[in-house]
């Protein structure tokens, strides 16, 4: 905890003496090494005595209070309260003949000839569906987890093994996404052994299997799929769409960035075309997500490499907030940013002009000709197409238009047209994020948990200051793994106040707060400005907004210990009397 005393001193100077904004962007108030974190007894690494790695897939099951984990050759069911309490284990290695074939095909030098779990989704109340790479031979199985966790049931269903093509990649290094809704699987995945054909697939379920157009870079251009969510667009379920997030090579031209962030969408009730786009999506559209900063010189710097997306639900299920983590890996400029998007802005872009290009030597522009009816991207039977029963009834003109115009002309900009958080010239980049809404004495705060490529998790709040300036406070940074490795997945449980973090090297569970680490005095607690924590008269402790107000001292907005700590020791323990007294 080296920077702690210095930071506290600076914190005191800044907040008590009104020196303006805190300029120590990204420097955490508390930094805990792995050893120090374990000493606080607020974190628990999962210890697994099997030879495995690549703990990428985490699935939280709130009903059964379990955390399902998919790693190399293993599926594990953990207790959400204590991930080391009696884990239930399924060993699911690749079949020996598949492993041999994998090696004969010249693979295996980088550990590809194992069964890497890449999908684990709830199928119904009692069963999970899981898929693995199967040594370059994707396979899927059913898992029986029983009705209740007390049954301690976690077992592969005999004879349920089936091909996983179109659900899980062959190559474990190729990222994929999948979501299982109403027995229907939507997967963004590479579907061939060579790993050159990436598509958004729909399989299983009652509707026909469909995919994106093959070998058409206007649709998908070397995509890296990240996440997919069903977000309703109206009260009519026929309008329900799958929104998905990915990055891909830029189509827009050689001058711009090499990689762009995208939001795409399809209608859940798409059945494909009748004469053309047979068994292909006829409602597929995509748009660019912009996350950029404008420097004092007016130059716009873009963060285009989308790494992760977090969907924060609101009261209205049609309007979740979307948090994206971006990075940029330019040669001169390295950094990360978090941008927040509204569904209203995303829908506006999808309702706007389509991107169009006359020919090879032309620039992309807005399509100004007549747009077919119903409007491309509208779902059959929904608000805008009441008379139609299926996409197979779409006119040839509509299908031809959709095929050639999957991209929207306008890009989606973040709220306030700027990032919520930016980090530049730091030796790390963000890889993942999760967001929690926390009620404090003086309001509700969004707390960001950000995983880094160095195996740490940062806890950050962003406060509005005068004239629309944002103040970023990094409350803490903790090393979550014994062996540092980039954070792959974060799962937050607000209900349980726990964060589950995974990487290639391990899985850890940590509490969302460690109030006592801020120090022994009221001032320490107050200056920390952590919405989870308040001075309770004796120590810095978990604040609950249902507790009596007067007994809790907390001031997130100003962090002013003079006002809050009257009658208590208003001085921070680790700093002398040279500041506010
Ligand atoms: C674990 O598995 C890897 C890959 O097969 C192997 O190289 C390594 O030796 C194994 N380690 C132990 C302790 O068995
Ligand atoms: C869940 O699905 C499995 C496989 O289709 C089936 O055997 C099981 O009965 C289903 N359970 C429920 C509760 O519907
Ligand atoms: C799943 O199917 C049921 C019954 O058909 C429907 O009411 C529900 O809206 C569907 N859920 C989603 C997410 O589409």
Q: Tell me the best of 64, 122, 124, 128 to mutate to test the pocket of ligand 2, counting ligand atoms within 8 Å of each CB and taking the most.
A: 124
Cα angle 354-356-359, degrees, rounded to a multiple of 5: 170
pTM beyond 0.75: the answer is: yes
Atom of ligand 2 at shortest range from CA of 142 = 4
Q: Is 577 a residue whose pLDDT tops 50? A: no
Cα angle 145-129-243, degrees, rounded to a multiple of 5: 125
Atom of ligand 3 at shortest range from CA of 182 = 1
pLDDT for 196-242, tens place per residue?
999 999 999 999 999 999 999 999 999 999 999 999 999 999 999 99
51 CA to centre of ligand 1 in angstroms: 6
Q: Is 570 a residue whose pLDDT tops 90? A: no
Confirm if 333 and 415 have CB atoms less than 8 A apart: no
- The pLDDT assigned to 29 comes to 92
- The pLDDT assigned to 442 comes to 84
Question: Which listed ligand is nearest to 268 at the C-alpha?
Answer: 3
For tokens 């509707």, name the residue: 207
Host H or E run for residue 259 = strand 259-267
Question: Which listed ligand is nearest to 207 at the C-alpha?
Answer: 3
Q: Is 507 a residue whose pLDDT tops 60? A: yes
- The whole-angstrom separation of Cα 378 and Cα 350 is 10
Question: Which listed ligand is nearest to 49 at the C-alpha?
Answer: 1
383 CA to centre of ligand 1 in angstroms: 57
Host H or E run for residue 129 = strand 127-132
For tokens 């830029």, name the residue: 250
Q: Which two tokens stand for residue 416?
A: 């306030």
Question: Which listed ligand is nearest to 236 at the C-alpha?
Answer: 3
Q: Is 258 a residue whose pLDDT tops 50? A: yes
Question: Which listed ligand is nearest to 232 at the C-alpha?
Answer: 3
Q: How confident is the model at residue 310 (pLDDT cuts 50, 70, 90)?
A: very high
Confirm if 428 and 338 have CB atoms less than 8 A apart: no
**56: nearest Cα among 428, 435, 490, 448:** 490
Host H or E run for residue 564 = helix 561-564
Residue 23 CB burial class (10 angstroms; 0-12, 13-18, ≥19): exposed
- The whole-angstrom separation of Cα 371 and Cα 376 is 8
Atom of ligand 2 at shortest range from CA of 124 = 1
Q: Verify whether ligand 2 is closer than 6 Å to residue 125 (CB atom).
A: yes
pLDDT for 417-441, tens place per residue?
999 999 988 999 999 999 999 998 8
Q: Verify whether ligand 2 is closer than 6 Å to residue 123 (CB atom).
A: yes
Atom of ligand 2 at shortest range from CA of 125 = 13
For tokens 């799958």, name the residue: 242
* Mean pLDDT for the stretch of residues 158-168: 96
Host H or E run for residue 128 = strand 127-132
- The number of angstroms, rounded, from the C-alpha of 536 to the middle of its chain's C-alpha atoms is 35
Atom of ligand 3 at shortest range from CA of 181 = 13
Atom of ligand 2 at shortest range from CA of 160 = 4
Give the residues across from 266 on adjacent strands. Answer: 242
Q: Tell me the best of 122, 237, 269, 381 to mutate to test the pocket of ligand 3, counting ligand atoms within 8 Å of each CB and taking the most.
A: 237
Residue nearest to atom 7 of ligand 2 (CA): 127
160 CA to centre of ligand 2 in angstroms: 12
- The pLDDT assigned to 18 comes to 28
Residue 535 CB burial class (10 angstroms; 0-12, 13-18, ≥19): buried
Provide φ and ψ at 104, rounded to 5°.
-65, -30
Confirm if 310 and 298 have CB atoms less than 8 A apart: no
- The pLDDT assigned to 237 comes to 94
Q: Is 551 a residue whose pLDDT tops 70? A: no
- The whole-angstrom separation of Cα 131 and Cα 123 is 13
Q: Cβ neighbours of residue 522 under 8 Å, at least 6 residues apart?
A: 535, 553, 561, 564, 565, 568, 569, 570
Torsion of the alpha carbons at 524, 525, 528 and 531, rounded to the nearest 10: 180
Q: Tell me the best of 63, 121, 127 to mutate to test the pocket of ligand 2, counting ligand atoms within 8 Å of each CB and taking the most.
A: 127
pLDDT for 220-231, tens place per residue?
999 999 999 999
Atom of ligand 2 at shortest range from CA of 144 = 3
- The pLDDT assigned to 573 comes to 58
Question: Which listed ligand is nearest to 237 at the C-alpha?
Answer: 3
Q: Which residue pairs from 214-223 have beta carbons closer than 8 angstroms and sit at least 24 positions apart in sequence?
A: 216/403, 217/249, 217/251, 218/251, 218/404, 218/406, 218/407, 219/284, 219/406, 220/248, 221/248, 221/249, 221/250, 221/251, 222/198, 222/248, 222/249, 223/188, 223/198, 223/247, 223/248, 223/262
Give the residues across from 239 on adjacent strands. Answer: none
SS (H, E, C) 409-445: CCCECCHHHCCCEEEECCCCCEEEEEEEEEEECCEEE
- The whole-angstrom separation of Cα 276 and Cα 401 is 11
Q: Is 122 a residue whose pLDDT tops 60? A: yes
Q: Tell me the best of 64, 123, 140, 162 to mutate to test the pocket of ligand 2, counting ligand atoms within 8 Å of each CB and taking the most.
A: 123
Provide φ and ψ at 479, rounded to 5°.
-85, 120
DSSP helix/strand/coil, 510: strand
* Mean pLDDT for the stretch of residues 371-378: 94
Q: Cβ neighbours of residue 97 under 8 Å, at least 6 residues apart?
A: none
- The whole-angstrom separation of Cα 400 and Cα 10 is 63
pLDDT more than 70, % of the chain: 91
Q: How confident is the model at residue 143 (pLDDT cuts 50, 70, 90)?
A: very high
**369: nearest Cα among 406, 401, 407, 410:** 401
Residue 66 CB burial class (10 angstroms; 0-12, 13-18, ≥19): buried
* Mean pLDDT for the stretch of residues 274-301: 94
- The pLDDT assigned to 51 comes to 87
Q: Is 568 a residue whose pLDDT tops 80? A: no
Name the average pLDDT for the chain: 89
- The pLDDT assigned to 20 comes to 30
Give the residues across from 315 on adjacent strands. Answer: none
- The whole-angstrom separation of Cα 237 and Cα 231 is 10
CB-defined site of ligand 3, < 6 Å: 181-182, 230, 237, 240, 268
Q: How confident is the model at residue 254 (pLDDT cuts 50, 70, 90)?
A: low
Length of the chain in terms of residues written: 581
């Amino acid at each position: 905890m080296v920077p702690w005393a210095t930071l506290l001193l600076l914190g005191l100077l800044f907040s008590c003496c009104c020196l303006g904004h805190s300029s120590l962007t990204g420097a955490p108030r508390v930094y805990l090494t792995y050893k120090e974190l374990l000493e606080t007894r607020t974190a628990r690494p999962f210890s697994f005595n099997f030879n495995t790695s690549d703990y990428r897939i985490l699935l939280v099951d709130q009903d059964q209070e379990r955390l399902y984990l998919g790693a190399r050759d293993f599926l594990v069911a953990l207790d959400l309260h204590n991930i080391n309490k009696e884990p239930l284990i399924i060993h699911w290695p690749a079949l020996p003949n598949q492993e041999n074939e994998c090696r004969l095909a010249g693979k295996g030098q980088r550990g590809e000839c194992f069964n890497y779990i890449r999908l684990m989704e709830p199928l119904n109340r009692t069963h999970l569906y899981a898929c693995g790479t199967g040594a370059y031979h994707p396979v899927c199985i059913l898992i029986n987890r029983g009705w209740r966790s007390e049954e301690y049931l976690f077992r592969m269903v005999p004879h349920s093994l089936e091909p996983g093509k179109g659900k899980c990649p062959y190559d474990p290094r190729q990222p994929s996404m999948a979501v299982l809704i109403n027995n229907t699987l939507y997967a963004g995945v590479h579907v061939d052994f060579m790993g050159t054909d990436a598509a958004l697939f729909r399989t299983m379920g009652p509707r026909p299997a469909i995919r994106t157009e093959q070998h058409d870079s206007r649709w998908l251009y070397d995509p890296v799929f990240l996440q997919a969510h069903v977000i309703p667009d109206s009260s009519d379920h026929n309008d329900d769409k799958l929104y998905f997030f990915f990055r891909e090579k830029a189509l827009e031209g050689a001058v711009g960035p090499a990689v762009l962030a995208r939001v795409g969408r399809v209608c859940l009730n798409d059945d494909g075309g009748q004469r053309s786009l047979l068994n292909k999506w006829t409602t597929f559209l995509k748009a660019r997500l912009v996350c950029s900063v404008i420097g004092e010189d007016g130059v716009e710097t873009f963060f285009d490499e989308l790494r992760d997306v977090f969907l924060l639900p609101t009261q209205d299920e049609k309007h979740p907030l979307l948090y994206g983590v971006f990075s940029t890996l330019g040669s001169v400029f390295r950094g990360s940013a978090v941008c927040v998007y509204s569904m209203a802005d995303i829908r506006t872009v999808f309702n706007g002009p389509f991107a169009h290009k006359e020919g090879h030597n032309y620039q992309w522009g807005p399509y100004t000709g007549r747009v077919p009816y119903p409007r491309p991207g509208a779902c059959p039977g929904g608000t805008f197409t009441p008379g139609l029963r299926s996409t197979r009834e779409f006119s040839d003109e509509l299908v031809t238009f959709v095929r050639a115009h999957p991209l929207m002309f306008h890009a989606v900009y973040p709220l306030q047209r700027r990032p919520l958080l930016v980090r530049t010239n730091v030796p790390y980049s963000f890889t993942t994020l999760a967001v929690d809404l926390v009620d404090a004495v003086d309001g509700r705060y969004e707390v960001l948990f950000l995983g880094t490529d160095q195996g740490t998790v940062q806890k950050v709040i962003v406060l509005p200051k005068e004239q629309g300036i944002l103040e970023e406070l990094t409350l803490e940074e903790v090393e979550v793994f014994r062996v540092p490795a980039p954070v792959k997945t974060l799962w937050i449980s607000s209900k349980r106040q726990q964060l589950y973090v995974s990487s290639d090297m391990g899985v850890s569970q940590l509490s969302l707060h460690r109030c006592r680490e801020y120090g022994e005095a009221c001032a320490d607690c107050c200056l920390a400005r952590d919405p989870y924590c308040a001075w309770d008269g004796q120590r810095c402790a978990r604040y609950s907004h249902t507790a009596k107000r007067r007994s809790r001292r907390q001031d997130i907005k100003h962090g002013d210990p003079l006002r809050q700590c009257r009658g208590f020791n208003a001085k921070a323990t680790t700093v002398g009397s040279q500041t506010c007294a």
